Every structure is written in C-alpha cells, then in structure tokens.
Amino acid sequence: MIALYYFCFSLVLFIAGPFLLFKKKARAGLAQKLGFVAKNLSENKSRLASCVWFHAVSVGELNAVLSLIRTFHEKYPHIPLVVSTTTATGQALAKEKFLGIAEVFYFPFDLPWITGKYLSLLKPRMVVISETEIWPGFSHQCKNRGVKLLVVNGRMSPKSFKSYFRHRNFFGPVLNCYDEIGVQSMEEAKRYSDVAGNVKVRVLGNLKFDGLEPITDEAISKLRQDINLPANRFVLVAGSTHEGEETAMLKAYGRMLDTNGGEQASQVRLILVPRHPERFDHVAATVDQAGYTVRRFSRGERFADSGREVYLLDVIGRLFNFYSLASVAFVGGTIAPVGGHNIMEPYAYGIPAAVGPDLDKTRDVANTLINSGALAVGKNSEEVVDALLRFYADQDSRIKAGAAGRTILKSSQGALGKAMNMLSDNLQETPAALAKR
C-alpha cells in the first residue's frame, strides 16, 4: 500500500512540477522540499543530532505550538530543537519566534529518498506534528527508524472523519505509526479511534486557547495611540479574511456609517486583516474602489479621524493584538469555503464574533460558543452583515455574548500542561536524565 502511495505522490509531483517552478507562492522553499538540505542544518549536523523536531504547516498551526516549544526548551534546554513549516509565511514567523531556540527549515516532500535524507541527518529522538499534518511515508519511516512520532493539538472535523473512515484501511495503519496522538476534544478522540482502532489517543484540549492571554492595558493604549484610534470608537475587526469576505465587511461598515450619518460617521472604524500576504495589495485596491480611504500598517499610517477610513493590517502575526481594539469581530474563512480560523481569539478580550456558515475546521468549538449565546452564525454573507449590525445596535447583547465566550475560553485552558506531560512521557530518556545532559 505504501509503495502505491509513493508512486502516486511521485506522479503528482512530476505533473505539478511546472506549477511549483513558476508560481511564486509554491516555489517557496522548493529546494529544501526536494531534498537540498538547508545550510543551517548541514553545518550544525553534530549539534542537532538526537534533536526534537516540531512541524507546523503554516501560521495557524505554528501559533498553536509557540508556547509549547518555548516551554519545552525551558524544561529541556540541552535538547536541540528544529522546526519545519510548509509555507513561506509560517517559515518567516518561525524564524522570528524561535531565533536562538531552534533551527528552522522547510518540511520535505513525502518521498523516502527525500524525507530519509533529513531523518538520517538530524537523527531526531522525537517528531511532534501540530494539528492534522499526516504524511503516510514520513510516518512509516519514523516508525521503522524507531523515532517517536506524536501529534499535538490534533483535530479531525466531522467532514474529514467521513473521508478518513471511508479509507480507514489505508489511514488506520498510518495513524498506528504514531506513538501517541494528543487531540483537542473527546469527540475527536473517538473519531481517531474509529479510524485507527487501538491507536493511543490522549485528550489535551486546544493549545491555541492557552496562548490566548490578552495583552496589557498599557499595550492596548499604545496600540491605540500608534494608529490614532480613540477608545470611544466602535471598531469592527475582521480577522483572517479571504476573497469576498472583505467585500462583506465593507458592506457592514457602510451600513454602520449610514446608521450613524453625518458627523457621527467618524465614530465607527473598520480594521481588515487578510489571511494571506499576497492579497494585501488586492484588498487595498478593493477598499479604494469601494470609496474608502485606505490606511496601511506597513507604511506607518494612522487614522486621520475624518470618517470613511479603513485600516489595513498588512503584516503577519499581529491580528491577536488588534482584536483588543475591537467592539465586535468577524473571523474569516467562514464565508469563503475554508472551514474557519481561530474563532476563540476575540473572546480573550471579551469581544463577541460573527461568522459565516463554513465552520468545518472549528465545528466543535463553534458549537460550544453557539450554545452559550456567544457566537453569531450567518447562513450567508448577508446574514453575517445583519448579525454584525445587531451587535452594533445592541451594546448589552455585545457585552453578554463577549463575556459568555470569555468564560468558555478560561474554562477550556490548560492544554499546555497536558501537552508537556505527553511529550515528557514519550521522551526516550527520563526527564531526570535529560536534565543532567
């Protein structure tokens, strides 16, 4: 079965070759993905031997394990760490966050002569995968080499489960290559067990929740000063947006301005935070074409307090801080057919959110928020706009929904400690021995 997988993967890679070469986004890290080992790894080969290898596809998965990697490093400072990502945005964030802690590189394509090269060079004692990055070939290689293989913050949505379960004769043996899978909820633990039988699963909770500690009042005040946003403004922050979602947010903003009218229009602000950097200029043009003045973070621009302005946060890694400025939030990837991003982030500040119907990646969390009255869900973009307008018009409703979500967030935290326990339990040496290294 694995041989057939390798054949199919090689065929797909051969066909996709021109796309990988000529599309800038796909070309990021291509040499490393093809097995040309990064210089920082080859030059530090002896130092990195017996490392722990963390892998996170992109920014979202990396944010989930930031605190875990730092905590692991603090507990086991003598164990070398490496961090791989798949995307350029994830790579940039990893290099920024783990400077002096870990060596960073691109995850290789899942072919034995490529992944084997990295495994032979690094000789990792343990590989830790963030969320749902399941590579069959790499999994089998780790098992055959005796490398501990773990998942943290694992998730399997109801939609994904249907596919995994249908092909469980293939995915079951792959999942059984893992020494342990740490999942976000009991529901997901059951889904993994239904697919893979006796696979070892541990419920950790959601690591993204543990990292959601609000920034200080002083930091919020400075952020407001930096972009000239007085505290009495009503602010809609639209985070991790995709194509079409900015248009819906501009419509909601326009209706808020129309509701205010006249001089009061300057009391309302919209902050857009696109998910992908390559869309920043496109979103700026969309805002301009809609008749609004664009203020861009990357240029050091600020609100002029003249009304009909839209602030574009055109950098990566600042969204969570900007949620602190919100009166209400929209979380993207929910109108666009993406499956949703981290819908819990605004609730760290007690800010309620409205989302679209596509919540496949966050279904369990969304249901909890919905049942508590914290989250508004629209069936389409028009209903999302209407939900935002209701929050805009009803301050008591905003406060109540935001507080309900914050209560859920606080009660859901604690995954970091459980994840650290799982990593420690699976280290091939005891924690006491490691501490003496």
pTM over 0.85: no
d(CA 181, CA 173): 14
Q: Which amino acid is at 374?
A: A
- For range 22-27, the mean pLDDT: 68
Name the average pLDDT for the chain: 92
- For range 364-384, the mean pLDDT: 95
Burial 74-104 (b: 16+ CB within 10 A, else e): eebeebbbbbbbbbbbbbbbbbebbeebbbb
pLDDT of residue 428: 61
Give, as one character, the DSSP assignment of residue 316: S
Nearest to 106 by CA among 172, 20, 166: 20
pLDDT of residue 430: 43
Give the model's confidence band at 173: pLDDT under 50 very low, under 70 low, under 90 confident, else very high. Answer: very high
Instruction: Please determine, for residue 47, whether its predicted confidence score (pLDDT) is greater than 80.
Output: yes
pLDDT cut 90: percent of the chain above it: 78
* Bridge partners, residue 355, by sequence: 377
Give the model's confidence band at 364: pLDDT under 50 very low, under 70 low, under 90 confident, else very high. Answer: confident
d(CA 295, CA 223): 15
Higher pLDDT: 89 or 26? It is: 89
For the stretch 195-236, pLDDT in tens is: 999 899 999 999 989 888 999 999 999 999 999 999 999 999
pLDDT cut 70: percent of the chain above it: 94
Give the model's confidence band at 132: pLDDT under 50 very low, under 70 low, under 90 confident, else very high. Answer: confident
Instruction: Please determine, for residue 278, whether its predicted confidence score (pLDDT) is greater than 80.
Output: yes
pLDDT of residue 174: 94
- For range 43-53, the mean pLDDT: 95
Q: Are 282 and 246 in contact (CB under 8 A)?
A: no
Work out the angle at residue 38's Cα, subtended by the Cα atoms of residues 35 and 43, and round it to the nearest 5 degrees: 125
C-alpha pair distances (Å), 21 with each of 28, 179, 207, 403: 9, 36, 35, 49
pLDDT of residue 436: 38
Which residues have a Cβ under 8 Å from the Cβ of 35 and sit 6 or more positions away? 108, 109, 113, 114, 117, 118
Q: Largest alpha-carbon pair distance within the chain?
A: 70
Give the model's confidence band at 431: pLDDT under 50 very low, under 70 low, under 90 confident, else very high. Answer: very low
For the stretch 68-83, pLDDT in tens is: 999 999 999 999 999 9
* Bridge partners, residue 353, by sequence: 329, 375
pLDDT of residue 404: 97
> Quick one: tokens of 144?
């055959």
Q: Which amino acid is at 6?
A: Y
Work out the angle at residue 240's Cα, subtended by the Cα atoms of residues 393 and 232, and round it to the nearest 5 degrees: 35
d(CA 343, CA 28): 28
pLDDT of residue 305: 74
Q: Which amino acid is at 191?
A: R
pLDDT of residue 261: 59
C-alpha pair distances (Å), 127 with each of 72, 181, 195: 13, 12, 22
Q: Are 271 and 235 in contact (CB under 8 A)?
A: yes
Instruction: Please determine, for residue 67, whether its predicted confidence score (pLDDT) is greater than 50.
Output: yes
Instruction: Please determine, for residue 21, whether its predicted confidence score (pLDDT) is greater than 70.
Output: no
d(CA 421, CA 269): 44
Other beta carbons within 10 angstroms of residue 216's beta carbon come to 10
Nearest to 275 by CA among 215, 335, 225, 231: 335
Higher pLDDT: 364 or 338? It is: 338
Nearest to 101 by CA among 129, 67, 127: 67
Instruction: Please determine, for residue 273, whether its predicted confidence score (pLDDT) is greater than 70.
Output: yes
For the stretch 314-332, pLDDT in tens is: 998 899 999 999 999 999 9
d(CA 320, CA 4): 43
Work out the angle at residue 333's Cα, subtended by the Cα atoms of residues 209 and 374, and round it to the nearest 5 degrees: 50
Give the model's confidence band at 434: pLDDT under 50 very low, under 70 low, under 90 confident, else very high. Answer: very low
Higher pLDDT: 309 or 24? It is: 309
C-alpha pair distances (Å), 167 with each of 2, 194, 363: 14, 12, 22
**Which domains are assigned to the chain?**
24-211+414-432 (3.40.50.11720), 217-412 (3.40.50.2000)
pLDDT of residue 24: 66
> Quick one: tokens of 227?
């972009």
d(CA 337, CA 173): 30
Q: Which amino acid is at 118?
A: Y
Give the model's confidence band at 292: pLDDT under 50 very low, under 70 low, under 90 confident, else very high. Answer: very high
